[in-house]
Structure 1
Amino acid sequence: MADDLTLLLPRASDFLWSPYGYIPTEYVCIMFIVLFGISTFAHTVEAIFLRTWWLLPTACLAGALEVLGWAGRLWSSDNITGVQPFQIQITATILAPTPLVAANFIILGRTIARLGPTYSRLSPKWYTIVFLSCDIIALIVQGIGGGMASSAAGSGRDPSLGGRVMLGGIAFQLVTIAVYAVCALEFYLRYLSIYRTIELADGWGGRKFTTEVYFNVLDGAMIVLAMCTLNVANPGLLLSEAKLEDAPSVEERKRPASSSRP
């Protein structure tokens, strides 16, 4: 009888305000911390052993940010009203995919250099310059928006303005990835940005943002899959250190050569 009455009693968590709209599941947070930790450690070892140093500020940085973000969510699962863990997780998980996308931009340039830049619309060097510049712009905008939103949410103010700034940065990144996908036929890179765009367009308190399973599957699982794929298909093993020489591209070859005059 006492057990039956206990089931009817409201839980303490029902009365707690949560900036997430739910309480992060502890074992899910631990699982992603372990997965991202293992993948990041493997990327670090591979980068040092294979001397692919550019993976350190890209894939390794992305993994470290994911570990930090999921650690913030784990902290929130035990301290749901805490402002600091929420600020850590929202900022880290928003920024983490950007360095990983940068790694793919660099891989595209090296792949083109390896297989032959004469068959590309742009030279390998310009692929890296253009797409990395766009990625840095998106990172800055998302960082500003994330800081504004987390600060507002933590102090009980409306975080919509920061959310819109983040949405603008993520939408810009989505356009950049779409252009990259057309050039490289790497359509799988679209999934994360599409989820984040829909999530923030739905509003800070919308169903996409306040439903944990969407975040776990469409954010955490997608980034784990991308990082583990890069662990297995490591560019240091599959691509030699080809120089990103400014070889003529398809468009450059179409231009008529200027005739020299005596």
Structure 2
Amino acid sequence: MSMSGLPPGFIPSYETCHEVSAYCPVKATTIGYAPVKGLNIFLAAGYALAAVITLGVGVWKRTWSFSLSVAAGCILECVGYVGRALLADNPWNGDAFKIQIVALVLAPTLICVGLYLTLKHAVTNLNRSLSRLSPKLYPAIFVPADVSCLIVQAIGGGVAAAAGRDSYELLQHGNRTIIAGIVLQVVVLGFFGALAGDYLFRAARYFGSGGVTAQQEPGAMLWVDKKFRMFLYAMAVAYTALMIRCIYRIAEMAGGWGNHIMQDEPSFVVLESFMVLIASLLLAVFAPGIFFPQMSRSGRARGDKEGDAGMVTGTDTPGTEMEHL
């Protein structure tokens, strides 16, 4: 045996180790610890609850796109924390390790779609002319961009999960690809936040100016509606939580697999687990079908008709938009 107590040439990895032993200590795993089982069961249950609420309200209120994307992300999060609960029993469970890598990297990207979809409907129902972009462009821009983040991270996660003990370079390629996907996600989130913040600032100024036209009264009534304001605040907090998570993930992955940040469970729980759970529960509890019913299928139909009428009468013309700036 070597001075470390391991057989000569032995390298602990998910291929050579199948349980904790003198040759395969917990510290040698990629995350460097056995996750707290009870906490991860709690997290899995929390995400499952968020998925059930989101799907239930989505079917009830017919907010299909929002509900399916957010629920899919919550289900994936649930699977990821089931994987971490299995790692609590056996930190060298290679399958559980791969499951939690892929699931927890990809899930928040799906949840972000829910945020992107809300901006189009908020603009449509408040005042289209205040937006710098046509409402239809918001999902057309951000959903494909989000899918691109998902694909890049999926490729990186797949490469990292498939890398074996003799594939350190391949593991690093997977790591760099995941980082690229998360950085792209931060850029997309940042751009979205800038556009949403700009629109809401302009809306606040317009509806508070006292010069609201009769045609914009429905939007003015929505703007002061308490439920809608609660919905906006919930979306803002969810957005902030998801942004914090993405920035944390960049820092976590930047040091490579097994770095000191990745091996610190408290920071992962606070900045990853609970940030995404907070966002998921806010999107579930403050569901648009209840707090912003205009986002439902019937509400969208009404908004589109009003928007078409507005275009016919010229309320979305550049001249009219300039009057509201």
- Normalised TM-score (structure 1): 0.86
2 CA distance for matches of 1:98 and 1:252?
35
Q: Can you give the 5+ residue segments of structure 2 that lack an aligned partner in the other structure?
A: 1-19, 198-235, 321-325
Residue in structure 2 matched with residue 3 of structure 1 by the alignment: none
1:209 to 233, 242, 262: 262
Residue in structure 2 matched with residue 127 of structure 1 by the alignment: 138
Determine if the alignment matches structure 1 residue 172 to structure 2 residue 237. no
1:242 is displaced (CA, Å) by 2.5
Residue in structure 2 matched with residue 223 of structure 1 by the alignment: 276
2 CA distance for matches of 1:57 and 1:134?
18
1:91 is displaced (CA, Å) by 0.2
Tell me if the contact between 1:57 and 1:99 (Cα under 8 Å) persists in the aligned partners.
no
2 CA distance for matches of 1:156 and 1:20?
18
Report matched runs for 1:151-162 at 5 Å. 151-152=162-163, 155=165, 157-158=167-168, 159-162=171-174
RMSD over aligned Cα, in angstroms? 2.5
1:252 is displaced (CA, Å) by 6.8
Determine if the alignment matches structure 1 residue 82 to structure 2 residue 101. no
Residue in structure 2 matched with residue 8 of structure 1 by the alignment: none
2 CA distance for matches of 1:106 and 1:171?
21
2 CA distance for matches of 1:121 and 1:33?
40
1:202 is displaced (CA, Å) by 2.2
Residue in structure 2 matched with residue 141 of structure 1 by the alignment: 152
2 CA distance for matches of 1:125 and 1:131?
11
Which range moves more in the overlay, 12-21 or 220-229?
A: 12-21
- Structure 1 segments (4+ residues) deviating >6 Å: none
Residue in structure 2 matched with residue 259 of structure 1 by the alignment: none
2 CA distance for matches of 1:148 and 1:71?
21
Report matched runs for 1:13-162 at 5 Å. 15-16=25-26, 17-152=28-163, 155=165, 157-158=167-168, 159-162=171-174
2 CA distance for matches of 1:20 and 1:112?
43
2 CA distance for matches of 1:54 and 1:155?
41
Tell me if the contact between 2:121 and 2:300 (Cα under 8 Å) persists in the aligned partners.
yes
Tell me if the contact between 2:108 and 2:276 (Cα under 8 Å) persists in the aligned partners.
yes
| 1:150-206 deviations in Å (ceiling 9; x for gaps) | 111x54532211010000011011001001111113461421111111111122222
2 CA distance for matches of 1:99 and 1:116?
28
1:196 to 249, 255, 265: 249
| 1:81-130 deviations in Å (ceiling 9; x for gaps) | 12110000000000000011011000111111111111111111001100
1 CA distance for matches of 2:54 and 2:100?
22
2 CA distance for matches of 1:224 and 1:132?
21
Amino acid at match of 2:123: I
1 CA distance for matches of 2:271 and 2:317?
40
Tell me if the contact between 1:122 and 1:251 (Cα under 8 Å) persists in the aligned partners.
no
Tell me if the contact between 1:108 and 1:127 (Cα under 8 Å) persists in the aligned partners.
yes
Do the aligned partners of residues 86 and 231 (structure 1) sit closer, same or farther apart at CA in structure 2, a change above 3 Å counting? same
2 CA distance for matches of 1:150 and 1:254?
55
1 CA distance for matches of 2:32 and 2:122?
43
Do the aligned partners of residues 219 and 213 (structure 1) sit closer, same or farther apart at CA in structure 2, a change above 3 Å counting? same
1:254 is displaced (CA, Å) by 5.9
Amino acid at match of 2:46: L
For the residue of structure 2 that corresponds to 1:136, the secondary structure is helix
Tell me if the contact between 1:148 and 1:161 (Cα under 8 Å) persists in the aligned partners.
yes
Amino acid at match of 2:167: R
For the residue of structure 2 that corresponds to 1:96, the secondary structure is helix
Amino acid at match of 1:242: R
Q: Can you give the 5+ residue segments of structure 1 that lack an aligned partner in the other structure?
A: 1-10, 256-262
Max Rg structure: 2
- Normalised TM-score (structure 2): 0.70
How many pairs were matched up?
245
| 1:40-93 deviations in Å (ceiling 9; x for gaps) | 111111111111111343110011000100001111111211211000000000
Which range moves more in the overlay, 180-189 or 157-166?
A: 180-189
1:12 is displaced (CA, Å) by 5.1
Residue in structure 1 matched with residue 193 of structure 2 by the alignment: 181
Residue in structure 2 matched with residue 253 of structure 1 by the alignment: 318
